């Protein structure tokens, strides 16, 4: 399964320098040229998106392809610019206090390769909120390379849990975080370890999701918060969330399967409303 899809470090660094010298508009308009390159030459991404749109029942067009790539490039740029100047971004939510309290008291946060997921930590930049993001080593190195030239103003609430340090060390770190009422964030739409892949119905066909956050939630009895960060317009995002409580009266496997089904239905609902914001650029339904 090919998942190499990130905008290169050189591109992001160049765009960030444009931002520092010429402002945000220079980045926004420069992205059209960056995206044009990928539009013309990223054939593997085009193939994957054709498959995605076919499976969700929406006609694929060149216009959609360009807009989809542009949204990805824009949210990737915002990921790093927002760390330097979070005050320039607007994050809205109708129930901010509820969502804030869920994160503050320790929850399993399930995010997705969707919209501005990587900028969402700016929303939780308050005292006493700690979010531990489970990532792999390659992603961490990639992020560090991008961030090496950025003066970050907002990093107090976020810690990284590196799964490359091994399952035992990772499990201990996750357990300690939850015991301290810190939240732990996972990607639900891609398992980082084959051991935690689980299949469920998704738009009428089987697809693989990440079982691990549901397993941890069942064992720790922590609530699950599904989080979707919707790009509304330039530097403006809306946070959608939904809480899932597992049924602890049922056996572990049955309870987890029910939870994952609820998650898949919610993801379907969000993608129907915002199909241009999902950034899993590989054949998601393909069996390997």
pLDDT of residue 209: 97
pLDDT of residue 1: 39
How do the domains of the chain map onto residue ranges? 9-277
pLDDT of residue 121: 79
Output the six-digit token pair for 100: 């804030």
pLDDT of residue 3: 45
Please give the chain's pLDDT, 288 residues, in tens: 344 445 556 677 788 888 888 899 999 999 999 999 999 999 999 999 999 999 999 999 999 999 999 999 999 889 888 888 888 999 998 788 888 889 989 999 999 999 998 888 778 876 678 899 998 755 555 555 555 555 555 566 888 888 888 888 899 999 999 999 999 999 999 987 888 999 999 999 999 999 999 999 999 999 999 999 999 999 999 999 999 999 999 999 999 999 999 999 999 999 999 999 999 999 999 865
Nearest-Å Rg of the Cα atoms of the chain is 19
pLDDT of residue 2: 42
pLDDT of residue 82: 87
156 touches 125 (CB < 8 A): yes
pLDDT of residue 84: 81
């Amino acid at each position: 399964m090919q998942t190499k899809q990130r905008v290169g470090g050189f591109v992001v660094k160049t765009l960030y320098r444009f931002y520092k010298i010429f402002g945000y508009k220079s980045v926004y308009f420069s992205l059209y040229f960056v995206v044009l390159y990928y539009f013309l030459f990223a054939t593997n991404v085009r193939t994957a998106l054709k498959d995605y749109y076919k499976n969700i029942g929406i006609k694929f067009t060149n216009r959609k392809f360009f807009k989809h790539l542009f949204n990805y490039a824009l949210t990737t740029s915002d990921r790093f610019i927002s760390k330097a100047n979070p005050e320039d971004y607007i994050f809205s939510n109708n129930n901010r206090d509820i969502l804030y309290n869920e994160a503050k008291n320790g929850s399993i946060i399930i995010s997705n390769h969707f919209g501005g997921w990587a900028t969402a930590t700016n929303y939780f930049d308050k005292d006493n909120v700690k979010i531990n993001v489970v990532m792999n080593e390659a992603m961490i190195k990639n992020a560090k390379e991008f961030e090496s030239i950025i003066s970050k103003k907002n990093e107090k609430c976020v810690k990284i849990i590196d799964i490359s340090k091994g399952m035992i060390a990772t499990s201990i770190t996750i357990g300690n975080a939850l015991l301290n009422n810190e939240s732990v964030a996972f990607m639900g739409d891609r398992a980082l370890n084959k051991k935690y892949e689980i299949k469920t119905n998704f738009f009428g066909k089987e697809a693989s999701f990440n079982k691990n956050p549901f397993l941890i939630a069942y064992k720790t009895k922590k609530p699950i918060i599904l989080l979707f960060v919707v790009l509304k317009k330039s530097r403006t995002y809306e946070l959608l969330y939904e809480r899932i409580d597992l049924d602890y009266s049922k056996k572990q496997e049955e309870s987890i399967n029910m939870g994952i089904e609820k998650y898949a239905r919610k993801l379907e609902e969000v993608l129907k409303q915002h199909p241009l914001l999902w950034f899993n650029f590989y054949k998601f339904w393909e069996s390997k």
